[in-house]
Structure 1
């Protein structure tokens, strides 16, 4: 039943928004009592936190595997990290939308639990960029923090527009982003 509550909450939060969804909406959709809900969760926010933690913990696990792989170059690591961010959105569509859109409704205590995990994702990407700069693979005049935020912004926003049934796959979108980040969009003669 706990998983059913989470699944139904994801659907309702995605359709109606976290604030607009009540516990009553959740239990009525499931056809259970509020007592059933409160047996598994103390509050609607605890459900949101569970959804958020599940999504980010999965991403962190994948990220750690990429970073531990000593056979990958800096460029390959960056490519795989971008690929990971984008390809997680498609299979977990509703969860991804709830994760990105409803984050702001977490209480300060939950935010204090989540921020270090979000920072871990950001810091890992930034470290790959810094390591690549030091190795001479990426330009030495970059601002790694700004580049990292740009990458995260571009990748994380795909939850808004990416269509899994569209003409471009999530893997292709990731490759396009990597190409754009690494090579820009100007022709060689137009670069200053």
Structure 2
């Protein structure tokens, strides 16, 4: 039941927003009582925090699996991280949209906890880029931290507009992004 409450909440938060969605809206969709909700969550914010924490922790775990693969070059790791973020839209797009849009509704302490994990994710991207620069895979004329912000910014913004069921597949968008990031758009 807890998972059903979370899933329904994600859909409602995505469609209506956190503030416009009441606990009553959530339980009504599942035909359960508010008591059921309060058995699993002390508040709507606790539910939102769990959605945020589950989302970013899962994404970070999958990123760490990519980074830990010693058989991959830094370029391949960066490509896989870009793929992870874009393909994730297909599998977890609703959660991602709630994650990015509803953070402002968390208390200061909860925001700090989520931002800490977000920074870790970004730091991992920066480390992959910097290691690629150090190993000569990437140009040494760029700053690893700024490239990491660019990669994460480009991919994260896709959650707002990309439709995985549209004309462009997630794999194709990931390929466009990593080609653009790694090679630019000039035809030289």
Give the TM-score band, short-chain normalised: over 0.9
Superposed CA RMSD: 1.1
TM-score by length of 2: 0.96
Partners of 2:106 and 2:147 in 1: CA distance: 27
Cα distance per residue 1:99-154 (max 9 Å; x no partner): 11112211111112212211111000000111111111111121222211111111
| Paired position in structure 2 for 1:164 | 164
Q: How many residues align?
A: 188
Cα distance per residue 1:12-60 (max 9 Å; x no partner): 1011001111112112222222211111101101111111111111111
| Gapped regions of structure 2 (runs ≥ 5) | none
Contact 2:89 2:164 in 1 (8 A): no
| Paired position in structure 1 for 2:130 | 130
TM-score by length of 1: 0.94
| Paired position in structure 1 for 2:54 | 54
| Paired position in structure 2 for 1:81 | 81
| Paired position in structure 1 for 2:106 | 106
| Paired position in structure 2 for 1:8 | 8
Matched, 1:153 2:150: no
| Paired position in structure 2 for 1:91 | 91
After the TM superposition, which segments of 4 or more aligned residues of structure 1 sit over 6 Å from their partners?
Answer: none
| Gapped regions of structure 1 (runs ≥ 5) | none
